[in-house]
A and B are shown apart, each in its own frame.
Chain A
Amino acid sequence: NAGVMQNPRHLVRRRGQEARLRCSPMKGHSHVYWYRQLPEEGLKFMVYLQKENIIDESGMPKERFSAEFPKEGPSILRIQQVVRGDSAAYFCASSPPGGRQPQHFGDGTRLSIL
């Protein structure tokens, strides 16, 4: 009964490189959410996806960030040309379909930019 799986747990990139973060939702969950946690802060919503569709990306920065949830495979959060300010913990959560379902979180990917 695997939970939400995120990888890698830790990712180090140099400024200007690309970062790819992966998230496999819990079995039976078709909704995926990405959140970012900056140091000493709470979590901020970034994007909400269902299979092959972006439903709400109101929390995504306008540039360099993108997300997908293909028909097969994990959800990917992609950050191009990373900058120091992208250093944070990125959490993925999933939920089953239907309204007001609680979200289950992965252990996060801690991204460090050198």
Chain B
Amino acid sequence: GDSVTQMEGPVTLSEEAFLTINCTYTATGYPSLFWYVQYPGEGLQLLLKATKADDKGSNKGFEATYRKETTSFHLEKGSVQVSDSAVYFCALSDPKNGGATNKLIFGTGTLLAVQP
């Protein structure tokens, strides 16, 4: 079945460092890919998305490119801030059966801790 694998954390960085969180996926169809962020005690917020190969999603300095050839959707940011400390989830949605279901399949999450 469909699945998402993302790098384990925690990832600890100093402020202004470069961030990469790896995410790879397995899907039988043509999935949409997402990154969500979860701050402590809160729900998930959509960070960015890409719906087809070679699309680049970007938001708040974060970006990720949908790479079909490597089945990857790595999250990057050039200069992290303390306020970026959170758990980041990679997810896919792979509508099948004419779009009858649009459920998200999540990776296990990566905790990012940014130190001043």
Question: Measuring CB to CB, which residues of chain A are less than 8 angstroms from any residue of chain B?
Answer: 4, 6, 31, 33, 35, 41-45, 48, 55-56, 59, 91, 93, 95, 99-108
Q: How many chain-B residues does the 8 Å CB contact rule pick out?
A: 25
Return chain B residues, CB-CB under 8 Å to A35: 104, 106
Q: Contact between A103 and B104 (Cβ–Cβ < 8 Å)?
A: yes
Q: How many pairs of A and B residues are in contact by the CB < 8 Å rule?
A: 63
Bound Cα distance A92, B11 (Å): 28
Residue of B42, B45, B102 ringed by the most chain A CB atoms within 10 A? B102
Looking at the assembled complex, report how far the CB atom of B8 sits from the nearest CB atom of chain A, in whole angstroms: 11
Bound Cα distance A105, B105 (Å): 14
Bound Cα distance A31, B95 (Å): 14
Interface CB pairs A-B, < 8 A, 8:
A35-B104, A35-B106, A42-B89, A93-B104, A99-B95, A100-B51, A105-B36, A106-B43
Residue of A41, A48, A102 ringed by the most chain B CB atoms within 10 A? A102
Bound Cα distance A105, B47 (Å): 12
